[in-house]
Amino acid sequence: MTDLLKLEDFRVSFSTPRGDLHAVRSVDLTILKGESVGIVGESGSGKTVLSRATMGLMPSTATQTGSAFFNGTDLSTLSRDDLRSHWGTGMAMIFQDPLTSLNPVRRIGSQLTEGLTVRLGMGREQARSRAVELLDRVRIPDPLVTMKKYPGELSGGMRQRIVIAIAIACTPELLFADEPTTALDVTVQAQVLELLTELRAERNMTMVLVTHDLGVVAGHTDRVVVMYAGQIVETAPTKDLFRNMKMPYTEALLKSIPRLDQPSGQRLQVISGRLPDPTKTEPGCAFAPRCTYATDKCRAEAPPLTTAPNGHQYRCFFPITGAN
Ligand SMILES: Nc1ncnc2c1ncn2[C@@H]1O[C@H](COP(=O)(O)OP(=O)(O)OP(=O)(O)O)[C@@H](O)[C@H]1O
Ligand code: SF4
Ligand SMILES: [Mg+2]
């Protein structure tokens, strides 16, 4: 498989009254064509900033350095207009909040046909019939009726299907799905994830699935990237990660997944402590204050990213050994 996206020493910081906030700290990441990659990490670890910055969707308070190659083109050298020309057809994003990604005062039909007419140059009728096909594909009942509705007239699950239809309308090569199911109830979550997985396979689309839930990535990705405090701390093929995880942080994340066989009333283990202050750069491993395996070495030195012979990467001096 060939590279589709390649990030090199990619960094994003924000200028804030408390000083520079380092949201993404030197990320190197390659995503291959056709791959489905899960990015996991706690709230605040930099998942959304990494995805949005790759697409060039950062506010003016952000400073971005390093490079992002998409299909071999260095996106940092493109003008804003050239970068926008990639949206929809090259890269598309399902945003974290499905309520704000649809315009409440515009009918579904007009929101869905916009990309088709503007980016693909379709005429009104052609765009309308493609929109109906798309709604049908994401299993919206009565597409013709739904086209005339406003977002507020639909359930959360239906709205998210429409957001997906808009995102895939111009057949993007790379789809970022940022917490696509967080706002939905559990049964609908499973249906929406299944739909994304089907669409990815039938369109040979590359997908980056962003979530704080390792349970979500388990069945829907080929590879997992674990982020902590703006850095990649572990990456491995999904099966390998679950069979043989190396990072104490990933292990702690896994213990915080709710399980169906868990006796009701039993509380989930949450990772005690908090993420480090993103406006500071402390010595040592960023996870050390919360890590049950931390030693003086961890508190003094930052562990480098180590690559095992099978390609499994981790950032830890004392990786967990043996099968999990
Ligand atoms: N526009 C902004 N200005 C300043 N800081 C920001 C901005 N956007 C994000 N941040 C900060 O960047 C860091 C990473 O945020 P990000 O939204 O990427 O986290 P996340 O991993 O997506 O979390 P969540 O799971 O809650 O969505 C956080 O400390 C956040 O407060
Ligand atoms: S380097 Fe040390 S503190 Fe960091 S995750 Fe590994 S054992 Fe824990
Ligand atoms: Mg986020």
Kindly report the pTM of this predicted structure. 0.93
Q: Looking at the predicted structure, is the pLDDT value of residue 267 above 80?
A: no
The whole-angstrom separation of Cα 218 and Cα 178 is 16
Helix intervals (H) in the chain: 47-54, 80-84, 98-101, 108-118, 124-137, 143-147, 156-168, 186-203, 214-218, 238-243, 248-255, 296-300
pLDDT at 112: 95
Ligand nearest to the CA of 16: 1
User: What's the average model confidence in pLDDT over 143-171?
Assistant: 93
Q: Looking at the predicted structure, is the pLDDT value of residue 241 above 60?
A: yes
Give, using CA atoms, the residue closest to atom 22 of ligand 1.
Answer: 48
Q: Which residues line ligand 2 (CB under 6 A)?
A: 248-249, 285, 287-288, 291, 293-294, 298, 303, 316-318
Q: Which residues line ligand 1 (CB under 6 A)?
A: 14, 16, 21, 23, 41, 43-49, 59, 61, 96, 212, 278
pLDDT digits (tens, 9 = 90+) for 34-63: 999 999 999 999 999 999 999 988 988 999
